């Protein structure tokens, strides 16, 4: 049974993921305006929302294409966008074939960091009879994926020319190691700028100037224009934001669009109450910096989720006089919003205390085929 539009927030079951539409709209507009002001191609990462509705809004506001992490995200997003980047190496024949089978009229790009993935992707592209653009992923300090900038990156880019179904489409990097407060990023951004300049100069000298230099994250989003030669940005979390982003100053707590609506279910143990949002609603995501806990209450920053079981979240009341009744509802600003999206099938969009709409988390899960 569906809920009528304009239902009151109180009519929603809990725990549920609730997005403040005014905040979402503001975040989307701010991101689009920044990209346009600095002449960047905006290719938002859909991992944060996994939703056709939000992707549609990003495209409507000027995003040129979308970034995906999983083949399923790309399959789902191919229904609204014909320019997709899969920023994850599709290693192995099964994964590469699935990627190459994305709708043929999609301009597909893949970021990778090894000759092995290049080889398997080329074979899959050949089988599918399509062209795939390749971004060479470089490691700029996160030490997760990415070839060492310099000779290794250039050598990988040069190999792409061996395969007739692949073309060198650019260089990609993810500055995920830069997570300090915005104002304290100067040194790390200067190091990153020097690294990019040296790497891209080497590409230029080899006659292989990358058509695209793709970077960006939410923590560094608003300072991307201080970096050299970037043409494309891939922010993800900026649409919803979270406690982590607010903690480092990439947004304020008022810019956090998504909260978990939960109900107080127990007040039996003194000094705390229990809500029905535990790890299966919030994830067990740590928060960096001086903060602690697994989320904080909207409008009550002194109340945090201090401990969790799967379905229980313990609210620490030691810093507040507030004593909620059993049945009272709260909204938790999660530490890491992308995990919360991934834990939900449906998102409710609210304006004030009215539920205006809902949308599915379309690309949730892997989209694997069952055995018949």
Ligand X SMILES: Cc1ncc(COP(=O)(O)O)c(C=O)c1O
Nearest residue to 49 (alpha-carbon basis) of 257, 251, 242, 236: 236
* Binding map of ligand X across residues 87-116, x = CB under 6 A, - = no contact: x-----------------------------
250 or 275: whose CB is closer to ligand X? 250
What lies within 8 Å, CB to CB, of 158 at 6+ separation is: 206, 208
What lies within 8 Å, CB to CB, of 170 at 6+ separation is: 109, 133, 135, 136, 210, 211, 212, 213, 214, 231, 232
Q: Measured from the CB of residue 237, what is the shortest distance to ligand X in angstroms?
A: 4
Choose which of 49, 234, 331, 364 interacts with ligand X (CB under 6 A). 234
Residue 237 contacts ligand X per CB under 6 A: yes
87 or 332: whose CB is closer to ligand X? 87
Choose which of 65, 90, 235, 283 interacts with ligand X (CB under 6 A). 235
The whole-angstrom separation of Cα 282 and Cα 314 is 12
Distance from the Cα of residue 211 to its chain's centroid:
24
Q: Is 50 left (phi over 0), alpha (psi -120 to 50) or beta?
A: left
Residue 174 contacts ligand X per CB under 6 A: yes
Q: How many CB atoms lie within 10 A of CB 340?
A: 27
Choose which of 89, 146, 210, 236 interacts with ligand X (CB under 6 A). 236
Choose which of 51, 70, 212, 218 interacts with ligand X (CB under 6 A). 218
Q: Measured from the CB of residue 139, what is the shortest distance to ligand X in angstroms?
A: 12
Q: Measured from the CB of residue 264, what is the shortest distance to ligand X in angstroms?
A: 31
User: Binding segment for ligand X among 215-223, 300-308, 341-349, 364-372 (CB under 6 A)?
Assistant: 215-223
Cβ atoms 189, 227 nearer than 8 A: yes
Q: Please report, as residue ranges, which positions from 25 to 54 form the binding site for ligand X (by CB under 6 A).
A: 45, 48
73 or 128: whose CB is closer to ligand X? 73
Q: Please, what is the end-to-end C-alpha distance for the chain in angstroms? A: 30
Geometric angle at alpha carbon 265, from 261 and 271, rounded to 5°: 105
Interface contacts to ligand X, rule CB under 6 A: 45, 48, 67, 87, 174, 217-219, 234-238
């Amino acid at each position: 049974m569906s809920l009528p539009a304009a239902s009151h927030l109180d009519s929603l079951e809990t725990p549920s993921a609730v997005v403040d539409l005014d905040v979402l709209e503001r975040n989307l507009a701010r991101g689009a305006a920044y990209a346009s002001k600095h002449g960047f191609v905006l290719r938002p990462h859909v991992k944060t929302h996994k939703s056709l509705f939000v992707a549609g809004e990003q495209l409507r506001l000027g995003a040129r294409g979308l970034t995906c992490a999983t083949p399923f995200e790309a399959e789902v997003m191919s229904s609204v966008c014909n320019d997709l980047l899969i920023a994850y190496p599709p290693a192995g024949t099964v994964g590469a074939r699935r990627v190459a089978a994305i709708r043929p009229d999609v301009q597909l790009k893949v970021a990778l960091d090894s000759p092995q993935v290049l080889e398997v992707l080329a074979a899959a592209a050949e089988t599918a009879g399509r062209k795939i653009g390749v971004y060479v992923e470089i490691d700029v300090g996160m030490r997760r994926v990415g070839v060492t900038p310099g000779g290794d990156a250039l050598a990988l880019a040069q190999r792409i020319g061996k395969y007739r179904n692949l073309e060198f489409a650019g260089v990609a990097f993810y500055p995920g190691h830069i997570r300090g407060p915005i104002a304290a990023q100067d040194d790390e951004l200067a190091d990153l700028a020097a690294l990019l300049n040296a790497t891209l100069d080497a590409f230029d000298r080899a006659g292989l100037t990358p058509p695209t230099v793709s970077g960006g994250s939410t923590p560094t989003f608003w300072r991307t224009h201080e970096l050299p030669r970037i043409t494309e940005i891939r922010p993800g979390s900026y649409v919803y934001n979270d406690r982590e982003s607010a903690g480092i100053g990439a947004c304020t707590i008022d810019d956090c669009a998504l909260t978990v609506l939960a109900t107080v279910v127990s007040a039996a143990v003194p000094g705390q109450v229990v809500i029905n949002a535990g790890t299966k609603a919030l994830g067990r995501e740590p928060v960096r910096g001086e903060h602690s806990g697994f989320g904080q209450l909207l409008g009550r920053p002194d109340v945090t989720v201090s401990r969790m079981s799967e379905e229980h979240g313990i609210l620490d009341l030691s810093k507040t006089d507030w004593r909620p009744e059993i049945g009272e509802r709260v909204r938790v600003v999660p530490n890491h919003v992308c995990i919360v999206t991934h834990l939900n099938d449906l998102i409710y969009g609210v304006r004030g205390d009215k539920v205006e709409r809902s949308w599915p988390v379309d690309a949730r899960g892997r989209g694997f085929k069952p055995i018949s």
